[in-house]
Amino acid sequence: MLSQDYIQLEEKFGAHNYHPLDVVIDRAEGVWVYDVEGKKYLDCLAAYSAVNQGHCHPKIIKVLKEQAEKVTLTSRAFRNNQLPLLCKELCELTGYETVLPMNSGAEAVETALKAARKWGYKTKGVKDNAAEIIACTNNFAGRTITVISFSTEDQYRDGFGPFTPGFKIIPYGDAKELEKAITKNTVAFIVEPVQGEGGVVVPPEGYLKETYEICKKNNVLFIADEIQSGLGRTGKLFAYEYEGIKPDMVIIGKALSGGCYPVSAVLSMKEVLGVFKPGDHGSTFGGNPLGAAVARESIKVLVEENLIENSFKLGEYFRERLREVQSPHVKEVRGKGLFIGVELKPEAKGARRFCEALMQKGVLCKETHENVIRFAPPLVIKKEEIDWAMERVEEVLRME
């Protein structure tokens, strides 16, 4: 079958909740993917940061196969020999005391929100059913009913009400707005240290530290959503490290399994996640031995192969190369590490056509917020591969 055959099948039988580029990927390795006709592409999206370790990393695949032949699922009704080790290794790596594993990023966000509310009622003393959680404009934390309830993207909300109450929205990047929004019922502030879907938006320097201190002063939990920005993507293990803070809760996912299996988690000190008692929260697949084994190896690969340092160094190089492009369309190049957004001017007529043109030249990336091209290749990328991509990016950014 050819690419067009697969596209027609998907269009006929699949729900139309995505608008993908028309490339049909058959196999992948490292930073490269191949379509069903055998054409080679450089992946500059990394499955929205899920394959930071590169596609089909041999060490992760080896562990995946070995564990799959032993036991894949026990449910949390029983214990397994992989989850305790994952919890220990994550805590040792991050400096937190407790891990609650889930599957998708949205599930982990829901977990953090539930923990924050229960902490508010049981520890802070907020009146029952009065808890408020503050979020920011242009946030993206998933697609569940509760998560879209604090989204400011009209499309994510259209047709899905009524919405979950208990959320306040403030402008991203303005610490004073957080201070004004806090009340006696505020239990948490959830924020992306770098907004991914919002257009790879980096807040003003000092913003995270100032909002963290405001939260501390008001006995409000600071929740960092590092699902996209964490695990090396921004050139640090976590993006919040740039400002020397330690959030009360950190939400991770995507690259936690190297793109090989859905694994997510919430990290915190025992005071926060300790509010959960048996039966309060759970997941049949959360913490399963297959996912835990894969996550353990994925973390090991990030650290042992110096992928975080590579992200920092090559991210600076990639951004500098992008800033050197003489293009009438580019408004701004921004980002941290290998998490890069190229914002186009309104008259450029949207980022989609540039992504389609890049695909034709063998570079895969995706538009976000209509006018931004996101570049976020696997962290295993090499300088010469960036140079290869930039030859094509320069051509496309100069087109009419």
Q: Is 225 a catalytic residue?
A: yes
Selecting among 225, 318, 354, 366, the annotated active-site residue is 225
**Distance (Å, whole) CA 264 – CA 224:** 14
Selecting among 35, 118, 140, 312, the annotated active-site residue is 140
Selecting among 118, 236, 254, 336, the annotated active-site residue is 254
**Distance (Å, whole) CA 78 – CA 296:** 20
Q: Is 154 a catalytic residue?
A: no
Q: Is 354 a catalytic residue?
A: no
**Distance (Å, whole) CA 33 – CA 27:** 6
**Distance (Å, whole) CA 100 – CA 108:** 8
- Residue 290: both structure tokens together: 């297959």
Question: Strands of 186-191's sheet, edge to edge?
Answer: 98-102, 264-268, 249-252, 221-225, 186-191, 132-136, 167-170
Q: Left if phi > 0, otherwise alpha if psi is -120 to 50, otherwise beta: which for 205? A: beta
Looking at residue 187, its amino acid is: V
**Distance (Å, whole) CA 342 – CA 327:** 11
**DSSP annotation string for 242-302:** GGT---SEEEE-GGGGTTSS--EEEEE-HHHHTT--TTSS--SSTT-HHHHHHHHHHHHHH
Q: Which residues does the annotation mark as catalytic? A: 140, 225, 254
